[in-house]
Amino acid sequence: MKRIRLAAILAAAVLALLPTSATADATYPDPQPITGQQIIHDPTVMHLKSGGYVAYSTGGIIGARLSKDMKHWDDAGNAFAEAPSWWYEYNDKADPWAPDLSYRDGRYWLYYAVSSWGTNHSAIGVATSRSGLPGTWTDHGKVFTSEKTDTWNAIDPAIVRADGKLWMAFGSYWTGIRMVQLNPGTGKAIEDARVHHLATRPDEPYAVEGPYIAKHGRYYYLFASYDTCCQGVNSTYKIKVGRSTSVTGPYVDSTGKPMLEGGGDLLLAGHGKYIGPGGQSIFRTQGRDWLAYHYYDADDEGTPKLGLNQLRWTRDGWPNAL
């Protein structure tokens, strides 16, 4: 009897040390509830000056979603009616990836990547629109390219302005996240642009991609997606962040470890039915910062869906997802 009682006490003690699913899930917040067209991949979201919200994404000829309140989203077709002919140089299906939406000089600018799985024969292109709405975009061709001889991959663009200059972060696997300066007039890389190195992993295959850079206070924050995307419920994507007082780095995490040495604070990871969050971007509306990303819904056979979480900044200047 004593032996049974002792075994029960030991078992209870062991169970007390193990995290319950509720405790583990509480570490990462669920996205806000949304309705309508939820399916999306690599979202970029913006509050349009005409009112309402638009989200562009991987899929179709840059898939489009529209919303009046960020809660109900409607399918709005594609950014383009047809694919520009030069896309076929990089993808035989003219399938663009990972768009980035920004606004400057009275126009919306839509950057995107064209490539094929597993190669760095890739290109980043740009289009402009006065309204930012699907079907109104004029393509302007290539911004920056990479070839198999390069040690970077020209996909996953993200635009940021800093100190009167325009910059584009980009990168996927190979040696990680890179950055080049752009000509603000053309929106394309300046001649003989230096390729800065912002983040990587210690070992091959250097599984970091999808950068996004946001300014808060005196720091620039580099958000990036780590590990494996696009495998449905088997995806291991997660979002990490580091910061720097210079847009070109060096970026470090809250312990001071450089992102060029594998550093980065974990901002959001899979929990519950929300598997593999990543492909993130940041947007600001009504005085608040929001994190947009996709996750794979374990309750819906791993379908990629839109995640939206408000960002809160701590007193020492680090972001938390709410």
CATH of the domain at 288: 2.115.10.20
Torsion of CA 183, 186, 192, 196, to 10 degrees: 50
List, in sequence order, the alpha helices (H) in the chain.
2-17, 21-26
**Cβ neighbour number for residue 22 with a 10 Å cutoff:** 8
**Assigned domain for 3 exists:** no
- Tell me which residue of 320, 262, 281, 274 sits closest to 38, measured CA to CA: 274
Query: Which pLDDT value is given to residue 2?
Result: 30
Answer yes or no: is pLDDT of 65 > 70. yes
Classify residue 126 as exposed, middle or buried by CB count within 10 Å of its CB (0-12, 13-18, 19+): buried
Q: Which two tokens stand for residue 69?
A: 């309140």
Q: Is 140 inside any structural domain?
A: yes
How many domains is the chain partitioned into structurally? 1
- Is residue 67 a part of any domain in this protein? yes
Residues 66-93 have a mean pLDDT of 96
Q: Is residue 296 part of a domain?
A: yes
Give the residue numbers annotated as catalytic, written as ranges.
42, 209
Judged by average pLDDT, the poorest of 16-20, 121-125, 247-251 is 16-20
Per-chain mean pLDDT for the chain = 92
pLDDT grade for 27, boundaries at 50, 70 and 90? confident
Q: What local confidence, expressed as pLDDT, does residue 5 receive? A: 36
Q: Would you say residue 292 lies in a domain?
A: yes
Q: Are strands 35-36 and 72-78 parallel, antiparallel or unpaired?
A: parallel
244 inside domain: yes
